[in-house]
Structure 1
Amino acid sequence: MVRGRISRLSVRDVRFPTSLGGHGSDAMHTDPDYSAAYVILETDVEDGLKGYGITFTLGKGTEVVVCAVNALAHHVLNKDLQDIVGDFRGFYRQLTSDGQLRWIGPEKGVVHLATAAVLNAVWDLWAKQEGKPLWKLLVDMDPRTLLSCIDFRYITDVLTEEEAFEILQKGQVGKKEREEQMRMHGYPAYTTSCAWLGYSDNTLKQLCMEALQDGWTRFKVKVGADLQDDIRRCRLIRHLIGPEKTLMLDANQRWDVPEAVEWVSQLAEYKPLWIEEPTSPDDILGHATISKALVPLGIGVATGEQAKALQFLQIDSCRLGSVNENLSVLLMAKKFEIPVCPHAGGVGLCELVQHLSIFDFISVSASLKNRMCEYVDHLHEHFKYPVVIKNASYMPPTDAGYSTEMKEDSVKKHRYPEGEVWKKLLAAQEN
């Protein structure tokens, strides 16, 4: 029985100075400080049940997301959890269709990041209430109940609710066996930790060798700032990992369309599986052009959902509107048989998205062909329930919730700008 009224919402600006070590650096984001707007929902339940949600940012601008979360707070405050999940579709639409806030969205940008943070906290709360990890809550859910969490507005020309129901019904076959497979072997992952653009060659070599020793077979390289440097780095990495390992490229939206085709063609000899985010995420036709041009080279395109413009679909646990919107994308991907390879990393993205990948395999896609989930090996120590990686695979979380809860001491130290870490850094910058 879902119970509890949401009595308080608080949100904190939590930042980690990852830019100091070049961690997370790419062609577009040269000095990111991995950060999060961290939402806590408190309830009036006697045991003090709380829900925790995050949305990922890169430092500056986190304060803007915090403001947006506070602007959305009235939609959730004093609401009964039963009422929210009992009409989750209606609640989702209420959040994304606020008559005034929608003007600075809709369903993208700062407002949508804030929406994800709030909804991630709601899902964490629901899963904890049920005593299940989020992936298991979804796997055990009746198909009609699951679909009631999705807002089908704007997507019925691509996927109707009845089509989605048929997909979930088919997914019931063999579900128990796939769940056991996940518990035994986990969900395959790839690593981006070795080849951030700001890393020296020595660091790159060391991290690649360590990853190989740990059993990693899939590696992603950041590219896009300098072609000759990319050629040199890709040559180095391909030499280190050998011809049989999988290599992917990520340009982080750096190029225009002709530049993307020319640049990736120059890197084709290193046999990348895909080029990720080659151009603006809003340019659907541009992605289709790039995709068509790279077919003869055997290189796919990976990014967000783009009709007939990609070979690998990437979901995001924070840029999309939490679990609700990701469910619709997973179902659309299944309809068109596009493999889902989520990107993660950041602050908590690995913790969140593992649940979505595991659910997708068990209940929707029923396939691991050409599928893998990104993994980045930093900042997990700040979470109460960090990811568990074994044999280069995500092992299914066993703790109740969405794995979003951070350690209070970490939050206190890294709050911006009053936390201990930032007080020291800002004082040093002034001097």
Structure 2
Amino acid sequence: MVLEGGGTGEGRGRGVGGDPERVRLVEQCPRCGAETWSGKRVSQGSLSRAGPSSPSKFHNFPEFSSAATPPGCAANPRRLRAPPSPCAPRRVQQTWWLPSAWAWCTAGSPGSQSTTCASPTSLGGHGSDAMHTDPDYSAAYVVLETDVEDGLKGYGITFTLGRGTEVVVCAVNALAPHVLNKDLGDIVGDFRGFYRQLTSDGQLRWIGPEKGVVHLATAAVLNAVWDLWAKQEGKPLWKLLVDMDPQTLVSCIDFRYITDVLTEEEACEILRQSQVGKKEREEQMLAHGYPAYTTSCAWLGYPDATLKQLCSEALKDGWTRFKVKVGADLQDDIRRCRLIRNMIGPEKTLMMDANQRWDVPEAVEWMTKLAEFKPLWIEEPTSPDDILGHAAISKALAPLGIGVATGEQCHNRVIFKQLLQAKALKFLQIDSCRLGSVNENLSVLLMAKKFDIPVCPHAGGVGLCELVQHLIIFDFISVSASLQDRMCEYVDHLHEHFKYPVLIREASYMPPKDAGYSTEMKEDSVKRHRYPDGEVWKKLLTAQGN
């Protein structure tokens, strides 16, 4: 156990319940090392009695010390305690609430009568592909509270596949000092500077920079900040972005390392040119939504009976664009692609996704044999880091009418810059939690516009659909002004756990109307699915132990 101050809404200040002499215990899981709130409280007296022989170790972190001046008191006048007003600054408190790791279950295996609410996604084959055969859809989840008394909180997530989520949580905690005790107004007033502060920490950047675990953690933190900002403004995030003037929008972007392709002046000009017809495009989105495609029908682990049933149901629901997972076995891919193409007919759009399975020559050879099924694209045919490999595959498959799509696991804007420069992709796929949140995604959307490459976001996972819908709706209204060859991925899993789930109508994302970034989860879902101490996981782990 370790000691930390703050709370999750019960009390303000360093202590719990307003008592500066009481602190909340944080338990460390002996299995994975993840830290979780225990719900227990001890006094400073009991803390002092914990000696070397105590079975628990206690660490009184300086930033959470109960002896420090409580926020909001006379010694700290910058913390406002008055009722909130439109001009009142909002400061992030010590209340940095971070569940350790999340793994979610589904409501049942598609095509069966039974429900498996206590099962992780891997048991049903949901999310399975050629490289990730047993994913347990998970997320690190950040909640930001402030000292303004209106109760607004910012929620941020980053998506993972199970093991390793606790590592992301550690990285988020390492970023905490850059966020705590900051005014929200100061953060968004110099968002570029704040983004660079997070990504340029002189020690943390050594385990990046701007890539891997530390960048996933950056996304979770920044997603929470954007959610809080949008809520304060009373707008859904897409509308917050759409209503910004070009200069303000561009001020949120860090242009370091990409000015050889896109300057701040060029970005402003792109946004200014897109002002023409902007009102009409917003009305179009509100009336008809943004076109989507489905991946839910053809996960690699699904048996044929499930695949057929889900394709049939999707066709009845009006879906016209389908994606199938490929890459593990060529003959099986041929059989499954033929099955799907026969079901959806020649007029519907089919895409394929290899999830980084192949070497470059193998990708070309494999897709040449799958070309008879007329795929619009092959997604992630090889390593996401291989820019020149993607370029070679793209060039080889162009005569077959097959485009290359990638971006789901691109580290940062620099990789996207190089993919665009090398003409390595025909479809660009942003991710709301892989890149550095909205800030970095904005730079990629603008580069894609300059290179005239359509953006077709990656979604699915835990909350990715909820988040990325905001970005692509903004892109259409304020950047690309086009729907040509554009669509957003949709996966019909886990939306029931979100307070503001996506709304799909006639195979299109309808623009969210609730304020924020749609990142907030339901409290009951959070409680039940927390790993490893939530009800769902306790039952499953007990069953496995028996």
Give the structure-2-normalised TM-score. Answer: 0.79
Question: Which whole-Å CA distance do the structure 1 matches of 2:237 and 2:314 have between them?
Answer: 29
Alignment correspondent of 1:399: 514
Question: Which whole-Å CA distance do the structure 2 matches of 1:299 and 1:378 have between them?
Answer: 28
Question: Which whole-Å CA distance do the structure 1 matches of 2:526 and 2:248 have between them?
Answer: 35
Instruction: For residue 374 of structure 1, report the CA deviation from its aligned partner.
Output: 0.1
1:286 matches 2:389: yes
Amino acid at match of 1:15: A
- Structure 1 window deviating more from structure 2 (13-22 vs 239-248): it is 13-22
1:184 matches 2:272: no
Question: Which whole-Å CA distance do the structure 2 matches of 1:9 and 1:334 have between them?
Answer: 37
Instruction: For residue 227 of structure 1, report the CA deviation from its aligned partner.
Output: 0.5
Question: Which whole-Å CA distance do the structure 2 matches of 1:75 and 1:281 have between them?
Answer: 30
Summarize deviations over 1:13-69 as a string: whole Å, max 9, x none: 211111111000000000000000000001111111100000000000000000000
In structure 2, runs of 5+ residues without a counterpart are 1-85, 105-119, 408-415
State how 1:120-135 maps to structure 2 within 5 Å. Answer: 120-135=223-238
1:84 matches 2:84: no
Matched length: 431
> Out of 92, 95, 120, which is 1:6 matched to?
92
Question: Which whole-Å CA distance do the structure 1 matches of 2:369 and 2:211 have between them?
Answer: 33
Alignment correspondent of 1:44: 147
Summarize deviations over 1:88-126 as a string: whole Å, max 9, x none: 000000000110010000111000000000000000000
Question: Which whole-Å CA distance do the structure 1 matches of 2:484 and 2:340 have between them?
Answer: 24
SS of corresponding position for 2:185: helix
Summarize deviations over 1:380-427 as a string: whole Å, max 9, x none: 000000000000000000000000000010011011000000001111
Alignment correspondent of 1:347: 462
Summarize deviations over 1:223-273 as a string: whole Å, max 9, x none: 000000000000000000000000000000011100000011110000000
State how 1:2-151 maps to structure 2 within 5 Å. Answer: 3-7=89-93, 8-12=95-99, 13-16=101-104, 17-151=120-254
> Out of 235, 238, 263, which is 1:160 matched to?
263
Question: Which whole-Å CA distance do the structure 2 matches of 1:138 and 1:113 have between them?
Answer: 22
Higher relative contact order (CA 8 A, sep 6+): 1
Question: Which whole-Å CA distance do the structure 2 matches of 1:218 and 1:48 have between them?
Answer: 41
SS of corresponding position for 1:261: helix
> Out of 324, 330, 334, which is 1:221 matched to?
324
Alignment correspondent of 2:364: 261
Tell me the percent identity. 87
Summarize deviations over 1:189-230 as a string: whole Å, max 9, x none: 000000000000000000000000000000000000000000
Alignment correspondent of 1:382: 497
RMSD (Å) for aligned C-alpha atoms: 0.6
SS of corresponding position for 1:389: coil
Instruction: For residue 376 of structure 1, report the CA deviation from its aligned partner.
Output: 0.2
Alignment correspondent of 1:320: 435
SS of corresponding position for 1:386: coil
Larger radius of gyration: 2
Summarize deviations over 1:320-378 as a string: whole Å, max 9, x none: 00000000000000001000000100000000000000000000000000000000001
Task: Give the number of the structure whose residues are more often helix, by fraction.
Answer: 1
Question: Which whole-Å CA distance do the structure 1 matches of 2:213 and 2:502 have between them?
Answer: 27
In structure 1, runs of 5+ residues without a counterpart are none
Question: Which whole-Å CA distance do the structure 2 matches of 1:217 and 1:101 have between them?
Answer: 45
Alignment correspondent of 1:299: 402
Question: Which whole-Å CA distance do the structure 1 matches of 2:218 and 2:262 have between them?
Answer: 23
Question: Which whole-Å CA distance do the structure 1 matches of 2:174 and 2:209 have between them?
Answer: 15
Instruction: For residue 142 of structure 1, report the CA deviation from its aligned partner.
Output: 1.0
Amino acid at match of 1:360: D
Give the structure-1-normalised TM-score. Answer: 0.99
Amino acid at match of 2:91: R
Question: Which whole-Å CA distance do the structure 2 matches of 1:252 and 1:100 have between them?
Answer: 32
Amino acid at match of 1:132: K
> Out of 323, 332, 339, which is 2:447 matched to?
332
Amino acid at match of 1:264: M
State how 1:202-221 maps to structure 2 within 5 Å. Answer: 202-221=305-324
Alignment correspondent of 2:13: none
Question: Which whole-Å CA distance do the structure 1 matches of 2:387 and 2:520 have between them?
Answer: 36
Alignment correspondent of 1:356: 471
Amino acid at match of 2:233: E
Superposed structure 1 runs of 4+ greater than 6 Å apart: none
Question: Which whole-Å CA distance do the structure 1 matches of 2:149 and 2:217 have between them?
Answer: 28
Question: Which whole-Å CA distance do the structure 2 matches of 1:214 and 1:106 have between them?
Answer: 44
Alignment correspondent of 2:65: none
SS of corresponding position for 2:98: strand
Question: Which whole-Å CA distance do the structure 2 matches of 1:167 and 1:271 have between them?
Answer: 34
Question: Which whole-Å CA distance do the structure 2 matches of 1:14 and 1:400 have between them?
Answer: 24
Question: Which whole-Å CA distance do the structure 2 matches of 1:88 and 1:385 have between them?
Answer: 26
Question: Which whole-Å CA distance do the structure 2 matches of 1:329 and 1:68 have between them?
Answer: 24
Question: Which whole-Å CA distance do the structure 2 matches of 1:254 and 1:97 have between them?
Answer: 32
Amino acid at match of 1:156: T
SS of corresponding position for 1:262: helix
Question: Which whole-Å CA distance do the structure 1 matches of 2:369 and 2:163 have between them?
Answer: 34
SS of corresponding position for 1:390: coil
